[in-house]
């Protein structure tokens, strides 16, 4: 019922910027409070948490490795989430996944298909 579609990935040089977007559709996402998050997975490695934002947009969290470079945000309608990525490094190369969970739960129940981010030296 809830569908997440990521976009905005691509190939950039080190030091460049990208803005990822995640469009959420479905009645659950539109009508009920959803916490949103971004995760990433490099080839041969496990998926890791990147950033999250609460349903109201007032609470955010970041993994230390991206703090100060990445910014997560939501639009006014709370049905899209963005990840602004600045000062990108080759280590940021990964497939980035958007995720959503119902407010009050701990597990992210909904996942997008991912968007590739490649940072060249």
Residue 15, φ and ψ in degrees, nearest 5: 95, -10
- Residue-level pLDDT at 29: 56
Residue 84 · residue 94 · CB < 8 Å: no
* Ramachandran class of 110: left when φ > 0, alpha when ψ lies in -120 to 50, beta otherwise: beta
Structure-model confidence comparison of residues 16 and 104, the more confident one: 16
For 17-49, write each residue's pLDDT tens digit: 999 999 988 866 555 688 999 999 999 999 999
Cα–Cα dist 58/9, whole Å: 25
Cα–Cα dist 13/45, whole Å: 22
For 72-118, write each residue's pLDDT tens digit: 999 867 689 999 999 999 999 999 999 999 888 889 999 999 999 99
Cα–Cα dist 49/99, whole Å: 10
Residue 90 · residue 120 · CB < 8 Å: yes
pLDDT higher than threshold 70 for residue 53:
yes
């Amino acid at each position: 019922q809830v569908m997440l579609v990521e976009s905005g990935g691509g190939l950039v040089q080190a030091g460049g910027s990208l803005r990822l977007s995640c469009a959420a559709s479905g009645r659950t996402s539109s009508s009920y409070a959803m916490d949103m998050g971004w995760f990433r997975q490099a080839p041969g490695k496990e998926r890791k948490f990147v950033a999250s934002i609460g349903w109201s947009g007032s609470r955010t969290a970041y993994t230390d490795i991206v703090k100060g470079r990445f910014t997560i945000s939501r639009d006014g309608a709370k049905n899209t989430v963005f990840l602004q990525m600045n000062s990108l490094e080759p280590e940021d190369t990964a497939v980035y996944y958007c995720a959503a969970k119902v407010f009050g739960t701990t597990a992210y129940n909904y996942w997008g298909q991912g968007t590739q981010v490649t940072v060249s030296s």
